[in-house]
Chains A and B, each alone.
Chain A
Amino acid sequence: MRIDKDLVAASATPLVLGILADGESYGYAILKRVDELSGGRMQWTDGMLYPLLHRLERLGLVEASWGTSDVGRRRKHYAITSAGREALVERQAQWDVVAHALRQVWRSAQDGLQSPPRVAEGWA
């Protein structure tokens, strides 16, 4: 199943903030975590993560610092800030509303499938 591009884009910020809320991380590890969390069903274009991280850094939601990897390469680490945690809470509340509304829509759509409305009977 491919997830719609707009949906991926909309969920990217809360996902990244949520992953960083678990602890400091870096680009590739964040992507691998997204992969694990979605069971490989959410595919990001790898490079696009970096402009997103830089945007979050500019907005003060994450802090970046350069370190080195196990094999001695330069690696940029990201950590969530207190403003980032606040934003995450805010986003979570928004997504809860969306998810709640969607669940109701799915349920009524399901009901609709099981017992077709009367108008439809008349047509049958």
Chain B
Amino acid sequence: MAPGTTAPAAGAASPGPHAALEAQIDQWRGYVRRREAISAADVDEMEDHLRERVEDLRATGLDDDEAFLVAVKRMGTLDDLSREFAQEHSERLWKQLVLVGEQPGRARSWRELAVVLALAVAVGVTVKVATVLLPWETVALNVGLLVLPFLTAYLAWKRQVTARVVGALVVPFVALGLVLNLYPFQPTDSTFVLAALAAPVTLWSVVGLAYVGGRWRSDARRMDFVRFTGELAVYYTLIALGGGVLLGLTIGIFSLAGVDLEPYLDSWILTLCVPAALIVAAWLVEAKQNVVENIAPVLTRVFTPLTLVMLLAAFVVLATAGNLAAVDRELLILMDAILVLVLCLLLYSVSARDPLAPPSFFDGLQVVLVVAAVAVDAVALTAMLTRIAEFGVSPNKAAALGLNLLLLVHLVWSAVLATAFLRGRRPFADLVAWQTRFLPVYAAWAAIVAVVFPPVFGFV
């Protein structure tokens, strides 16, 4: 190394022989730091690189300015770099599909708003027309088919999917629509209720296919869809709360003026607004992801310890209750709900966690939570199995039992992977991959419940 080329310490502000260079590096840091996909630690790492490159270039005879320019050029353009970082660290910027690649201009955002509003009106009107023309049981059976195509259309438009993907999106809707409406259901059948419950779950996977733009094999994209789903639920709840307050105030004012809005509430306002709010919520999640990125994970942090306490209490109650054989399928359905809750807590903390961070206390707590959930479920399940063996299988019990087994498999293997991560045997990425890879199984089970159960159980 040439004499006199030792680099000053990082961030040295005193005017030295290389003050201009320091200012340039500071400015470069500022530019890089503004890219959301690149963290402060990454900038430190690259600054170290840049400084070494500058030193080496100066050693070959370049002056400060020249060396800096060449070094920055060799680093690569910021757009390319930020795209690479975004691809590797999608948890920092899970809206990369929107942010990087195309820079949405004003024209596009106005067009998007128009598309969103048109779809929101269309979905509201569709549901309204359906409620007028069809008996409510048929509407209930088809609710997913009436609403979700519009959400799917918005996402497919936004991702500009290929014709092949459009085909893959349309076919499930048509097929499920035909099957559900051609089956000779009676609205009192339990298979009818099950199909009405399972159909939206199945169709949600089609929404996911549109969300990931057809790239369903990618673990990272599927995790993005999980995040999208969580934020959508949060947004939808917020919109519903806000809308409820607004409606209440409006009804109050109108009633003071002697106009009664109540008759229109169910038949018009809710029928139009509840489905439309879903599209608007999806649009908000797409547009504002960065702002609320942390809501679902924060909720999991709050509720993980509370749920653990609840599970321990449930375990004590179940284990000391004695005659569990008397309880009916409600227990099974309750257990499914508890396991789904635990799974969501796990999924959303996993989705927001920095995969490179070392194991923490919270990760340990999470494993305890999963183990507790599995233990409670094991107690309930043994009780239920003896009962099913005694009284035979009904569609409800079979559906609930199947879901319970899937959840058990999911949670037990999650616990195994999380324990291996805590002990440093496996990277956190394995746990993440397992979460997203297992999710399609639920959609498949929902499809079986909706499509295979009715004929198998003879439409009872």
A residues near B (Cβ < 8 Å) are: 26-28, 31, 45-48, 50-51, 54-55, 57-60, 64, 69, 71-76
Interface size on B, residues (CB 8 A): 33
Q: Are B429 and A59 in contact (CB under 8 A)?
A: yes
Contact of A64 among B10, B81, B356 (CB under 8 A): B356
Q: Are A48 and B84 in contact (CB under 8 A)?
A: yes
Which B residues are in CB contact (< 8 Å) with A48?
76, 80-81, 84
Question: Bound complex: CA of A71 vs CA of B7, how far in Å?
Answer: 7
B residues near A (Cβ < 8 Å) are: 6-7, 9-10, 41-42, 44-49, 51-53, 71, 74-76, 80-81, 84-85, 87-89, 355-356, 426-430
Asked, given contacts A46-B75, A50-B42, A51-B85, whether A28 binds B427 with beta carbons under 8 Å apart, the answer is: no
14 CB < 8 A contacts A-B: A27-B45, A45-B74, A46-B49, A50-B45, A50-B85, A54-B42, A58-B427, A59-B427, A60-B429, A69-B48, A71-B7, A72-B9, A74-B44, A76-B44
* Nearest CB on B from A10, distance (A): 16
Which B residues are in CB contact (< 8 Å) with A57?
356
* Chain A to chain B: the 4 pairs with minimum beta-carbon distance, closest first: A60-B427, A45-B76, A51-B84, A47-B76
Asked, given contacts A54-B88, A54-B356, A74-B48, whether A45 binds B80 with beta carbons under 8 Å apart, the answer is: yes
Q: Are A46 and B88 in contact (CB under 8 A)?
A: no
* Nearest CB on B from A2, distance (A): 15
Q: Are A27 and B44 in contact (CB under 8 A)?
A: no
**Which of chain B's residues has its CB closest to A57's CB?**
B356
Question: Bound complex: CA of A58 vs CA of B45, how far in Å?
Answer: 17
Asked, given contacts A71-B6, A74-B10, whether A51 binds B88 with beta carbons under 8 Å apart, the answer is: yes
Q: Are B74 and A71 in contact (CB under 8 A)?
A: no
Q: Are B426 and A60 in contact (CB under 8 A)?
A: yes
Which A residues are in CB contact (< 8 Å) with B9?
71-73
Interface centre among A51, A69, A72, A74 (most CB of B within 10 A): A51
Which A residues are in CB contact (< 8 Å) with B44?
74, 76
* Nearest CB on A from B415, distance (A): 19
* Nearest CB on B from A102, distance (A): 28
Q: Are A28 and B429 in contact (CB under 8 A)?
A: no
* Nearest CB on A from B23, distance (A): 18
Asked, given contacts A45-B76, A58-B88, whether A27 binds B42 with beta carbons under 8 Å apart, the answer is: no
Question: Bound complex: CA of A50 vs CA of B75, how far in Å?
Answer: 10
Question: Bound complex: CA of A47 vs CA of B84, how far in Å?
Answer: 9
Which B residues are in CB contact (< 8 Å) with A59?
427, 429
Which B residues are in CB contact (< 8 Å) with A72?
9-10
* Nearest CB on B from A113, distance (A): 38
Q: Are A54 and B89 in contact (CB under 8 A)?
A: yes
Q: Are B88 and A28 in contact (CB under 8 A)?
A: no
Which B residues are in CB contact (< 8 Å) with A54?
42, 85, 88-89, 356
Question: Bound complex: CA of A54 vs CA of B91, how far in Å?
Answer: 13
**Which of chain A's residues has its CB closest to B355's CB?**
A58
Interface centre among B10, B45, B53, B356 (most CB of A within 10 A): B45
* Nearest CB on A from B75, distance (A): 4
Question: Bound complex: CA of A55 vs CA of B84, how far in Å?
Answer: 10
* Nearest CB on B from A39, distance (A): 17
* Nearest CB on A from B443, distance (A): 27
**Which of chain A's residues has its CB closest to B421's CB?**
A60
Interface centre among B9, B88, B89 (most CB of A within 10 A): B88
**Which of chain A's residues has its CB closest to B83's CB?**
A51
Question: Bound complex: CA of A76 vs CA of B87, how far in Å?
Answer: 21
Which A residues are in CB contact (< 8 Å) with B6?
71
Which A residues are in CB contact (< 8 Å) with B10?
72-74
* Nearest CB on A from B342, distance (A): 25
Asked, given contacts A58-B356, A74-B10, whether A47 binds B75 with beta carbons under 8 Å apart, the answer is: yes
Q: Are B51 and A73 in contact (CB under 8 A)?
A: yes
Which B residues are in CB contact (< 8 Å) with A74?
10, 44-45, 48
Which A residues are in CB contact (< 8 Å) with B87?
51
